[in-house]
Amino acid sequence: MSFETEKYGRYEIKSGPLKGSWAANAFRGKTLVAQAAGGSRIEVVQDVKTQLDNLDAIELSERDKEGAPSAKVYEAAFLALGELNDGYRAMLKAHLNAPDHLISATKLAAAAGYVNWSAANLHYGLLGAKVAEEIGFEPPSRPDGSKIWTCAIARDPNLDLEFPDTSLQDALERWIDDESFRHFEWQMRPQVVQALRSLGY
């Protein structure tokens, strides 16, 4: 009898013997999200998987019209990502503390110490991709098919909720190929605001 670890979606399940019975714990990153005890490894692992499936179902039901999940899900995602580098933390803090949570790539660059707005745009997108993977978020795409990963963290404040992909795409097409994109302001999603405040940013 030994301990075993298996991947289950974005979770990791660890199971093994415990005081004459069996136990299983499920983690997302370092965070314990489900646990079970019972008479066999198969039983406790299946119990934990059922709990995880239920958690995911609840999460899906709480997503907004753009597919962004609740603040609790974002909070768990940031915890699962672990310690972010100084540049990423600086951009999140600057965005969180900006008036109405609106900020441009130029101001993000200044906050993080990047050389220009383009570098900030790249790195905020990379951070957005990490967050998107953790929360199961599918961002809108540009005309060339590439994903707008920043949308996992922020949105166009003028976005039409009924047609989010079209509205954001239209907005970015007006800005993305122009130097003036440095002044385009992203608005941090309210769920992200709440999550970061809960985490002490």
How does residue 163 score in pLDDT terms, banded at 50, 70 and 90? low
Q: Are residues 18 and 85 in the same domain?
A: no
Q: How confident is the model at residue 57 (pLDDT cuts 50, 70, 90)?
A: confident
What is the pTM for the complete model shown?
0.69
pLDDT of residue 179: 57
Residues 126 and 193 in one domain: yes
| Domain ranges, residue 135 | 71-198
Do residue 49 and residue 87 come from a single domain? Answer: no
Q: Please, which residues have CB within 8 angstroms of residue 151's CB and are 6 or more apart in sequence?
A: 66, 128, 137, 139, 140, 168
Number of domains in the chain: 2
pLDDT of residue 28: 81
Is residue 66 in a domain?
A: no
- Has residue 166 got a pLDDT over 60? no
For residue 157, which amino acid is it?
Answer: P
80 and 52 in a common domain? no
Instruction: State whether 134 and 81 are in the same domain.
Output: yes
